[in-house]
């Protein structure tokens, strides 16, 4: 908001527009700003106790009043959107998550699963459990390491470029040994004429 008397003047210098209370110390001012800029707890859509950036972006788009709070209907709608996004992007089929989830393919299947998850009594815990189960089934943490350990089978096959990229990581010595072993198997050409 601009100053009413002088448009180029800082808001802090105009007492009519300035809504910050005077602070005696920098700590007092920082405490006021921190509490003022904190998101309301209704913005926590996945119910994990923290308002993450993902929660804030989605909740801010659902906040039609612009008052910084979500009513229960909008909060449930945000939970449904989060559940739909999870089932839409899932790599592991729903049947691996348990018998309570439908194994139907397509949009109707994941919408039914999303409604079931969003309407459950323990939505936040259920969403976190499904995400952890998906990570465990995929073994995402070790995909790069196992790709590094697999030597290429031929000159046009295998992840040789991946081996070179993973040399920079903690498996550098192992990756270099694999490269040396592969290079020793290749046919050597003489540079002499």
CB 127 within 8 Å of CB 117: yes
Query: Per mean pLDDT, which range of 11-20, 70-79, 145-154 is the poorest?
Result: 145-154
CB 57 within 8 Å of CB 85: no
With tokens 């005696």, the residue in question is 24
Name the range with the highest mean pLDDT among 4-13, 18-27, 68-77.
Answer: 68-77
Q: At 157, is the pLDDT very low, low, confident or very high (cuts 50, 70, 90)?
A: very low
- Name the helix (H) or strand (E) containing 108: helix 107-118
Residue 12 burial by Cβ neighbours in a 10 Å radius (0-12, 13-18, 19+):
exposed
Instruction: Return the SS3 of 9.
Output: coil
Q: In the predicted model, what is the mean pLDDT of residues 165-193? A: 67
Comparing 116 with 186, which gets the higher pLDDT? Answer: 116
Taking only the tens place, the pLDDT of each residue in 80-131 is: 999 888 888 776 666 677 777 776 777 788 888 888 888 888 888 888 888 8
Q: At 182, is the pLDDT very low, low, confident or very high (cuts 50, 70, 90)?
A: confident
Q: In the predicted model, what is the mean pLDDT of residues 139-161? A: 57
Q: How much is the mean pLDDT over the chain? A: 76
Q: In the predicted model, what is the mean pLDDT of residues 4-13? A: 68
Taking only the tens place, the pLDDT of each residue in 40-95 is: 888 898 888 888 888 888 998 998 887 888 998 999 999 999 988 888 877 666 66
pLDDT of residue 66: 79
pTM value is: 0.56
* CA-to-CA dists, residue 66 to 10, 26, 69, 147, angstroms: 25, 29, 8, 48
pLDDT at 168 over 90: no
């Amino acid at each position: 908001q601009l100053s009413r008397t002088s448009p180029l003047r800082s808001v802090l210098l105009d007492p009519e527009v300035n809504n910050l209370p005077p602070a005696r110390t920098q700590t007092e001012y920082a405490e006021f700003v921190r509490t003022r800029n904190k998101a309301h707890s209704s913005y926590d859509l996945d119910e994990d106790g923290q308002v993450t950036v993902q929660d804030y972006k989605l909740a801010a788009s659902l906040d039609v009043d612009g008052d910084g709070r979500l009513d229960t209907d909008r909060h449930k709608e945000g939970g449904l959107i989060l559940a739909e996004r999870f089932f839409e992007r899932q790599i592991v089929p729903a049947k691996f998550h348990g018998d309570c989830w439908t194994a139907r393919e397509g949009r109707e299947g994941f919408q039914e699963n999303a409604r079931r998850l969003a309407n459950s009594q323990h939505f936040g815990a259920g969403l976190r459990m499904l995400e952890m189960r998906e990570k465990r089934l995929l073994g995402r943490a070790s995909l790069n390491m196992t790709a590094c350990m697999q030597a290429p089978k031929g000159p046009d096959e295998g992840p040789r470029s991946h081996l070179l990229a993973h040399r920079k990581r903690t498996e550098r010595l192992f990756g270099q040994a694999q490269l040396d072993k592969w290079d020793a198997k290749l046919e050597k050409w003489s540079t002499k004429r």
